[in-house]
Amino acid sequence: MIQFDLSGQVAVVTGGSSGIGLACAELFLRAGASVAICGRDTERLVEAEKALTGQFPQAQLLARRCDVLDAEDVSAFAQAVQARFGRTDMLINNAGQGRVSTFADTTDEAWREELDLKYFSVIRPTRAFLPMLRDAAGAGNAAIVCVNSLLALQPEPHMVATSSARAGVQNLIKSLAVELAPQRIRVNSILIGIVESGQWRRRYAKEAQPDQTWEDWTAELARKKNIPLGRFGKPEEAAQALFYLATTLSSYTTGSHIDVSGGVARHV
């Protein structure tokens, strides 16, 4: 693995208490950055903080409960980061989930909830941390990276609301990249396919045969879903793409994305 020194820089990761967000926080801490994570679930956040400080005893880490859809929560989180670290160099917008529904069974309320979650989980943190990112741009690196889904480019009819919202968010990310480029703030995204998560682990516990291992169960699902690499992605694999886009390793890249879907994408 490439050794990269981020000493003196600050990374903020929303949805950082589990999965991709937690794996991302680990990478930034390993590289020497100060890290701020947030999440809605207080218990899970406490567990994540303990795990990270156990792994990195000297880490500069801030963990704070925050609902990214609550403007006051997000503002308070940004203020806490400012008070603790005095800056933000990299913002990882990683919050959201998928909604399984077709057009026929998606209610107006469900549409509003889905659009609100996907858009404002990017809009509110970006708005709150933008002043600090502008300051960081003058010192070298300032980047925003968003975790999005391959559904943005390759919609699925059984996830119609999520697919539509993801496409809109990808458009937003491109617009932000153009608007913020003169301020030397880069904006990129990753497009994920199926990545191992607590949700999939719970489904495995419910659906797997008594003698079926996690590896066998996920491999079978990967075959059914026509994933060319024949397996689910791992949180750390998505996190590595986020790390690349957030740091000067990708200093001439903005308004772009990295596909982390195991080869599922059908477009050229």
* For helices 108-139 and 71-85, angle between their N-to-C axes, nearest 10 degrees: 20
Return the DSSP state at 150: G
Q: Which runs of E-coded beta strand occur in 40-150?
A: 61-65, 90-93, 143-149
Distance CA 203, CA 197 (A): 10
State pTM to two decimals. Answer: 0.95
Residue 217 token pair = 């169960």
Q: Decide if pLDDT at 97 tops 90.
A: no
Domain boundaries in the chain? Answer: 10-195+234-259, 196-232
Q: Decide if pLDDT at 149 tops 90.
A: yes
Which strand ranges, in their side-by-side order, compose the sheet holding 186-192?
Answer: 61-65, 34-39, 10-13, 90-93, 143-149, 186-192, 257-260
Task: Encode pLDDT of 211-245 as tens digits.
Answer: 999 999 999 999 999 999 999 999 999 999 999 99
Q: What is the mean pLDDT of the chain?
A: 95
Task: Encode pLDDT of 28-54 as tens digits.
Answer: 999 999 999 999 999 999 999 999 999
Residue 167, helix vs strand vs coil = helix
Residue 14, helix vs strand vs coil = coil
Residue 253 token pair = 């890249």
CATH no., domain 10-195+234-259:
3.40.50.720
Task: Encode pLDDT of 108-119 as tens digits.
Answer: 999 999 999 999
Instruction: Provide the pLDDT for residue 2.
Output: 53
Share of the chain above pLDDT 70, in %: 99
Residue 87, helix vs strand vs coil = coil
Q: Decide if pLDDT at 22 tops 60.
A: yes
Give the mean pLDDT of 196-203: 88
Pairing of strands 143-149, 90-93: parallel
Distance CA 186, CA 87 (A): 16
Count the neighbouring beta carbons within 10 Å of the beta carbon of residue 73.
18
